Structure 1
Amino acid sequence: MSVLAEAEVDLAAVAANLDTVAGVAGTELMAVVKADGFGHGAVPVARAALAAGATWLGVTSTGEALALRAAGFAGPVLSWLHRPDDDFGRLISADVDLGVSTVPHLHAIVEAASRSGRPATVQLKADTGLSRNGANRVDWPDLVGWARKYEVEGSVRVRGIWSHLAGADTLDGRGVGRQVAAFEEARRIARTAGLRPDLAHLANSAAALAAPATRYDLCRIGLALYGVDPFGAPGGGAYRLRAAMTLRSTVLNVKRVPAGTGVSYGPDRVTERPTTLALLPLGYADGLPRAAEGRAEVWLGGTRRPIVGRIAMDQCVVDAGDLPVAIGDPVVVFGPAPGTCLTGGGCVVRPGCAAGTAGGGCVAGPGCAAGETDAGWPTVAEWAAWARTSPHEILTGIGARVARRYRPVGR
């Protein structure tokens, strides 16, 4: 079956990124595979991450957790976002840890545990400054008190206490310090209530790499797992993370137009000189945000070329200038940053290095196969900057009609 666009997912990059974080953090790692693995595919990413040493999987919903169990993953899974009337019995029977932030949720879980005839395993979440999910300072003593009561009665096991940092991509020293202090106080209150959980966890990707005080027993790795620098660098950043997804398409139509030609709806863009327009079968339904109009670029014909005019639901237009573009020519929307070794084999790639060649200053190492250099492709971080959003939104927005193809570990 022919496809209009393809997201190639490099599972070796997932494994390498997890290994990089593990080498810095020195704790157990949870691979966060919510939102279908940030758009990469939860099951393939989970398999690669666990093989690389992750000990936990993290999701936010019942459906995601049960899908992992159905795929054969028997290890620890934490699911943390539920309605009070969710089907907790299925999650308890599937041995899924449940994140709990409110007393009503805890009561509902205990009722489900009673019906199922087995205790529920829970992890209590404290709000330490994000003001989102989690019990705040006023509600926390009540939550841990009920949890201890139910634990004594045998209806729950409290395995963990956790929280979420407010700075997901920046680590303000004072802010992190305040949250660590609040987390320590939440743990103290839990101990006073008689709870002795096995796990405490607070760190996200950025904190796992750069905030030792937040690491505790387990770090939850999301964005870094997929090769995006959590501090906003356009490439892999100081930790040389490898982007796991490359979004590709092909030119579907080509036309030479004179100056003064309107492009796409509006038209918001009128050509200033004669130029070649190349049509791509990707639009906002596939994950290209309209907010990136006027700034976004793609890799076409060995160079970056701008998207011009409005991005439509199914397509967009690239100004190819005077390039000799033809229908069927390959296009890279985003991928690894220049200088990334796509095979992990030691190749050094510099801007101007065409795929599979040694020109432009490229030095090909022993693991750098022909056609596996990245030249100057745009990155997810750049697309996020163009759209004034986060890389998370770009990755999770890649639509279902974009085919996923997986490059396995070892290739």
Structure 2
Amino acid sequence: MDALMAPTLEISRSRFVRNLAAVHERIAPAQLMLAMKDDAYGHGVEWAVAAAVSAERPVELFGGYDVHTSLRIRAQAEHARVFGWATSSDEEIELALSARIELGIGEAGYLRRVIEMSETLGLRARVHLKIDTGLHRNGIRPEDWPAVVADAMTAQRAGLIEVVGVWSHLAEASDAEDDESAREFRDAVDVLRASGGTPDALHLTASAASWWRPELRGTVCRIGAFCYGIRSAEGPDIPGVAPIASLRAKVIEERGDDVVIGVGAFHGLPSVLAGAAIGSPGGPREIVRIDATSTVVRGWSGARAGDTTTVFGPGAQGESDATTLAERIGTVGEEIITRLTSGVRRVIND
């Protein structure tokens, strides 16, 4: 396909910055941790970090998930705090400590490895201990928490680590279950404090709970999807926040009453999205079929090769947002974006 006709993911830097401002305002006085897993939810780490640290209210705390993403963040934000919470190899731990990456610790064995690496390198590790509050996505079980805290505080007194945070994930299955998780989280923080710990970063909530359940917020909110304008599946629109990315595809052929646009399954568009609406100069149009490198769409009067359609975006051409597409196939909005392949050009606009 001609490069000029290739699909593009057009990303608005200014919309991203406005989203960040809206999130800051919503969660205050809690601090925003901007989550950037999966290459900033498919939008690209480097430009997003640069925009976040240069905003009128800069982001000062980033969540990289894995060490290698955290190192990409560090390269763009020398003085920010960066948190990597994936359990890592010894080589990754060494890289993280050398780059002042704070590590999430969800198991006793990982804590021991971090302590050993800190002693070997002569570098004090800054760690966040994770209590399992019911999601069971790793995390230290409540019955094991006091013993792990004791080991961590022994290492802290020896100057090997500093316990700077406590964190967890909510299951978000029901308000009642989340309330119980919050109680378990607070109990875990109390145990750490009774042992002499003084954690400043307490983070339990991600995007949805940070926004809609203020009573569950700690001192930090880990927010990813909402900052990029991706609402929760089955969730409402987010006041002050809008999608920053639009997937554009050109009309490449007229085929009777239908038109063919230049994006398909090989670009990462799920083939099961037939029946969904995309945006066109003539308003919303129905997807008839998604092929390998193209998609057949119900035609509109006057459609011509080179016309631009919007597969997903903020709705300016009548298109759905990424989450609306995701809801059709039982997934979440970020998957629609993160599955896009290198065949889709990323274009960052002001």
| TM-score range normalised by the length of the shorter chain | over 0.9
User: Contact 2:50–2:77 (CA<8 Å) still a contact in 1?
Assistant: no
Cα drift, residue 314 of structure 1: 2.2
The equivalent of 1:402 in structure 2 is 344
Aligned residue number for residue 250 of structure 1: 250
Using the TM superposition, give the Cα deviation of residue 137 of structure 1 relative to its aligned residue in structure 2, in angstroms: 1.3
1:96 partnered with 2:75: no
Cα offset, 1:223, TM superposition: 1.2
Write the distance in 1 (CA, Å) between the matches of 2:4 and 2:314. 25
- The question of 1:81 aligning with 2:102 is answered no
What is the distance in 2 between the residues matched to 1:159 and 1:15?
A: 28
**Is the Cα–Cα contact under 8 Å of residues 151 and 157 in structure 1 kept in the other structure?**
yes
CA distance in 1, matches of 2:131, 2:292: 41
Do 2:49 and 2:77's aligned partners in 1 also have CA atoms closer than 8 Å? no
Contact 1:84 1:108 in 2 (8 A): no
Structure 1 residue corresponding to 2:177, chosen from 161, 175, 178: 175
**1:223 corresponds to which residue?**
225
Unmatched runs of 5 consecutive residues or more in structure 2: none
Deviation at 1:192, TM superposition (A): 2.7
Q: Identify the structure with the greater helix proportion.
A: 2
Deviation at 1:130, TM superposition (A): 0.8
Question: Matches of 1:333 and 1:300 in 2, distance apart?
Answer: 9
2:274 counterpart of 1:318 = no
User: What is the correspondence of 1:250-399 to structure 2 with a 5 Å cutoff?
Assistant: 250-256=250-256, 276-293=257-274, 295-309=275-289, 311-320=290-299, 323-337=301-315, 374-399=316-341
Q: 1:155: Cα distance to partner?
A: 0.7
Task: Deviation per CA, 1:225-244: give whole Å up to 9, x if none.
Answer: 0112336457xx25131110
The equivalent of 1:114 in structure 2 is 119
Question: Using the alignment, how far apart are the partners of 2:217 and 2:325 within structure 1?
Answer: 30
Distance 1:199 1:72 in 2: 19
Distance 2:272 2:147 in 1: 44
Paired position in structure 2 for 1:151: 156
CA contact (8 A) 1:3 1:402 kept: no
Structure 1 residues 333 and 88 mapped into 2: Cα distance closer, same or farther (>3 Å)?
same
Letter in 2 for 1:331: T
Cα displacement (A) at 1:89: 1.0
Shift of 1:37: 0.7
CA gap of 1:122–1:130, structure 2 versus 1, over 3 A, is same
Deviation at 1:245, TM superposition (A): 0.4
Cα deviation, 1:112-161, whole Å, max 9, x if unaligned, reads 11222111111111111111121121222222121111111111111101
Counterpart secondary structure, 1:164: coil
Give the letter aligned to residue 335 of structure 2: E
1:300 CA drift (Å): 2.3
Which of the pair has more CA radius of gyration? 1
Give secondary structure in 2 for the equivalent of 1:191. Answer: helix
Residue of structure 2 in register with 1:208 after alignment: 210
Q: Which residue of 1 aligns with 2:241?
A: 241
Quote the residue 1:5 is aligned against.
7
What's the TM-score once normalised by structure 1's chain length? 0.80
Name the Cα RMSD after superposition: 1.8
In the alignment of these two chains, the number of paired residues is: 345
Encode CA deviations 1:281-312: one digit per residue, 9 max, x unaligned: 2122322112322x222112322111113x23
Q: 1:350 corresponds to which residue?
A: none
Identical counterparts, % of pairs: 29
Q: Does 1:37 align with 2:40?
A: yes
Question: Separation in 2 of the partners of 1:306 and 1:193?
Answer: 61
CA contact (8 A) 2:41 2:338 kept: yes
Contact 2:49 2:76 in 1 (8 A): no
The higher-RCO structure (CA 8 Å, 6+ apart) is: 2
Q: Distance in 2 between matches of 1:76 and 1:65?
A: 10
Separation in 2, partners of 1:244, 1:58: 19
Q: Distance in 1 between matches of 2:119 and 2:198?
A: 22
* Rounded Cα–Cα distance in structure 2 between residues aligned with 1:133 and 1:312: 39
What is the CA distance between 1:398 and its match in structure 2?
A: 1.9
For 1:119-138, list aligned pairs within 5 A. 119-138=124-143
In structure 2, what residue type is equivalent to 1:326? R
CA distance in 1, matches of 2:146, 2:262: 55
Q: Residue in 2 aligned with 1:358? A: none
More deviation, 77-86/25-34:
77-86
Q: Secondary structure at the match of 1:129?
A: coil
| Aligned partners of 2:280 and 2:318 also within 8 Å | no
Aligned to 1:48: 51
- For 1:231 and 1:325, the matched residues in 2 are separated by 33
Which secondary structure does the structure 1 equivalent of 2:79 belong to? coil
**Residue 267 of structure 2 aligns to a residue in which SS?**
coil
Distance 1:375-1:87 versus aligned 2 partners, 3 A rule? closer
Q: TM-score, normalised by structure 2?
A: 0.93
Q: What's the secondary structure of 2:151's corresponding residue?
A: helix
Cα offset for 1:53?
Answer: 3.0
Q: Does residue 59 of structure 1 match 2:54?
A: no
Q: 1:177 to 1:10 in 2, by over 3 A?
A: same
Structure 1 counterpart of 2:318, one-letter code: G
Which amino acid is 2:297 matched to?
A: V
Contact 1:301 / 1:323 at 8 angstroms: preserved in 2? no
